[in-house]
Structure formats: C-alpha cells, structure tokens
C-alpha cells in the first residue's frame, strides 16, 4: 500500500487547519494597534481578505490531494474487533489499540519463529557424526520438586518481621506470599524449587484477593522499582544444582527491605533521591543504595 498520498493529504490538512486557525484568531483579536489610526478598518478587512484567500487556496490543494487517494481494493476484515468501537463504557474503549498492538506483536513473533525454524533446519546441532558413548550429566530436576519438599524448605526459614505463607491455586506449583513488617507484600511464583516471577506491592495493596492480583504491578513507583530489583536478584541467586540455597539467599536478601523507608543511602547519605528511597540492596552486604548510586 502506497502511503505517500496519505502523508501528503495529512500534511495539507495540517496547513489548512493552521490557516483557518489564523482567520479565527484575527477575527477574535479585531482591529489592532499596528493597523494605525488612519484607515484601520480598511487594513483589517484587507488582512482578513488575504487570510480567506489563503484558506481558499489551501482548501483547493487539499481537495486535489484527496482526489489522488485511491481506496483499498481489499477490505479490512476486523472480525469481532470491529464492534469494539461501539462500546460505550469508557474503561473498555482503550481495549482496541491494545488489541491491535497484540496482533502486530503476534505477527512479528510468527515471522521471527519462521526464520528461526528455517535456520535450525539448515544447521544441524550436532558437532560431528561421532557418537559419544560417555555418560551424560543428569539434568537438573529442581523444577520437579514435590510439594512436601517445598513446604519443608519454606517451613525451615524463620526471620523476625517476616511472614511466609504458601498457597497453591495451580495444584502442585506453589505461590509464596511474603509480608515484611508493615512495609510491603510480595508474591513469589515457584515452579518446584525454582523462582519464576516476583510481584511486589505495598502493604495496603491487595495481593491475596485473586490470582490476577499476583501478576499485576503495584500502583506505587517505589514498589515497582523494588520488583525490578527483585527480578535481578532472582537471576543472580539462580542455581539449578542448589535450588534450596538459591531460595534461602533470595529470601535473606529480600528481607533486607524491612528498612526500605528508614535507612539512608550508603553512598550519598540521603533518604530520598528523585523522590524515591534507596530501593536497591547490595547482593552481598545488603546495604541500601539509590538506583543511581549503586554504580
């Protein structure tokens, strides 16, 4: 589809709207002091006539651009999404652009996966035709841990000002709810003994009302920052061979946020920087730093 005529028509429309706006601005201002005292009405009418002639010329150019546009031969089939424009609820009207964006993302995903499949078929993953008879290392099975193993591990972790609670809305896989004093709440999504996702919210925000609440971000920027840092720590402590140590290390690190709003930054010595407290905790010393000061 050729987009140049459409761009030209939109550019000419902006010019037309600008010239019309100048006409209304001149009418609203009326006779100005720069018109002078002698013959000021005649000068005002002459200026208005020139602006109207400019609007007429721009309108003709816009009509010529419109005539150059050709309608698409193939109609756009929006299926059931075409009815979204008829929605009267203001909260649901924003669904249509998100749906279009998801369609575009899905098309790109399909395109990239096709390219990847083609490349993988052309390049064999085998380094040689030699068959190795050596015994391979056993694959990590920490994601296949039984619920009893998870319960025993979490039950053996005890810290002051921290409450740990396990829920299983997805059958075997557990969700660990962490409450640190009256500072924050967190939902740690587990698959066996592997941490897959962490959601951090404020103490007063809902986290236990439903499954959807455990995936949505906090409405406060400070807890969204803490959630980003928790994901970094989750990847840092990841260990498929020692999953128990990874979970213990992550909970120990996360427990340091009990002083989120109390301790100043170890580098600049300030409590607030860009209206935020020190949201980063060092992965070894657990000292608080602002995100800009941790470098």
Question: Where are the chain's structural domains?
Answer: 3-30+47-67, 147-289
Residue 135's alpha-carbon distances to 125, 127, 131, 139, in angstroms, are 19, 17, 12, 12
Q: Look at 212 and 228; give whichever has higher pLDDT.
A: 228
Residue 71's alpha-carbon distances to 11, 12, 163, in angstroms, are 19, 19, 64
Strand 162-170 and strand 184-191: pairing? unpaired
% of the chain residues with pLDDT over 90: 41
Q: Could you tell me the pTM of the whole model?
A: 0.52
DSSP state of 173: E
pLDDT (0 to 100) of residue 68: 80
The closest of 177, 205, 209 to 190, measured between CA atoms, is: 177
pLDDT (0 to 100) of residue 72: 66
Average pLDDT score over the chain: 84
Q: 287: exposed, middle or buried (C-beta count within 10 Å: 0-12, 13-18, 19+)?
A: middle
60-95 as b/e: b if 16+ CB within 10 A: eebeebeeeeeeeeeeeeeeeeeebeeeeeeeeeee
Q: Which residues have CB under 8 Å from 38's CB, separation 6+?
A: none
pLDDT (0 to 100) of residue 101: 85
The closest of 250, 139, 152, 148 to 194, measured between CA atoms, is: 250
- Residue 102 sits at φ, ψ, to 5 deg, of -65, -35
pLDDT (0 to 100) of residue 138: 58
Q: At what angle do helices 147-155 and 243-255 cross, to 10 degrees?
A: 40
Over residues 167-175, the mean pLDDT reads 82
Length of the chain in residues, anyone? 295
CA–CA dist 224, 229 (Å, integer)? 9
218 close to 205: Cβ distance less than 8 angstroms:
yes
CA–CA dist 25, 80 (Å, integer)? 44
CA angle 186, 189, 191 (to 5 degrees): 155
Q: Which residues have CB under 8 Å from 197's CB, separation 6+?
A: 188, 189, 215
- Kindly state the tokens that stand for 5: 């005529």
pLDDT (0 to 100) of residue 207: 80
CA–CA dist 272, 152 (Å, integer)? 40
Over residues 237-250, the mean pLDDT reads 90
289 close to 212: Cβ distance less than 8 angstroms:
no
The closest of 270, 261, 262, 265 to 287, measured between CA atoms, is: 265
The closest of 270, 162, 166, 183 to 226, measured between CA atoms, is: 183
pLDDT tens-digit readout, 30-75? 877 777 778 788 888 888 899 899 999 989 988 888 888 777 666 6
Q: Which residues have CB under 8 Å from 185's CB, separation 6+?
A: 177, 178, 179, 200, 201, 202, 203, 205, 207
pLDDT tens-digit readout, 85-139? 665 565 656 676 777 788 888 888 888 888 888 877 776 555 555 555 566 665 5
CA–CA dist 91, 94 (Å, integer)? 7
């Amino acid at each position: 589809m050729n987009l140049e005529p459409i761009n030209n028509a939109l550019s000419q429309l902006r010019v037309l709207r600008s010239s019309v706006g100048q006409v209304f601005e001149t009418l609203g201002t009326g006779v100005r002091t720069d018109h002078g005292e002698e013959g000021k009405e005649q000068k005002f009418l002459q200026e208005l006539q020139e602006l109207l002639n400019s609007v007429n010329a721009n309108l003709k150019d816009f009509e010529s651009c419109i005539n150059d546009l050709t309608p698409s031969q193939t109609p756009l089939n929006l299926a059931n999404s075409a009815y979204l424009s008829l929605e009267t609820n203001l909260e649901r009207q924003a669904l249509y652009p998100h749906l279009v964006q998801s369609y575009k993302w899905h098309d790109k995903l399909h395109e990239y996966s096709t390219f990847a499949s083609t490349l993988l078929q052309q390049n064999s993953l085998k380094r040689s035709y030699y068959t190795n008879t050596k015994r391979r290392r056993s694959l990590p099975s920490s994601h296949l841990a039984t619920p009893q193993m998870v319960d025993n591990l979490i039950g053996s972790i005890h810290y002051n000002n921290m409450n740990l609670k396990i829920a299983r809305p997805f059958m075997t896989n557990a969700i660990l709810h962490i409450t640190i004093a009256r500072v924050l709440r967190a939902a740690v999504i587990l698959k066996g003994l592997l941490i897959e996702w962490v959601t951090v919210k404020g103490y007063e925000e809902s986290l236990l009302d439903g499954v959807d609440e455990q995936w949505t971000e906090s409405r406060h920027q400070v807890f969204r920052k803490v959630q980003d840092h928790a994901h970094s720590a989750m990847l840092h402590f990841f260990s498929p061979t020692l999953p128990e140590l990874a979970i213990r290390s992550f909970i120990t690190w996360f427990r340091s946020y009990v002083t989120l709003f109390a301790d100043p930054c170890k580098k600049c010595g300030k409590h607030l920087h860009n209206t935020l407290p020190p949201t980063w905790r060092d992965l070894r010393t657990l000292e608080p730093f602002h995100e800009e000061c941790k470098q």
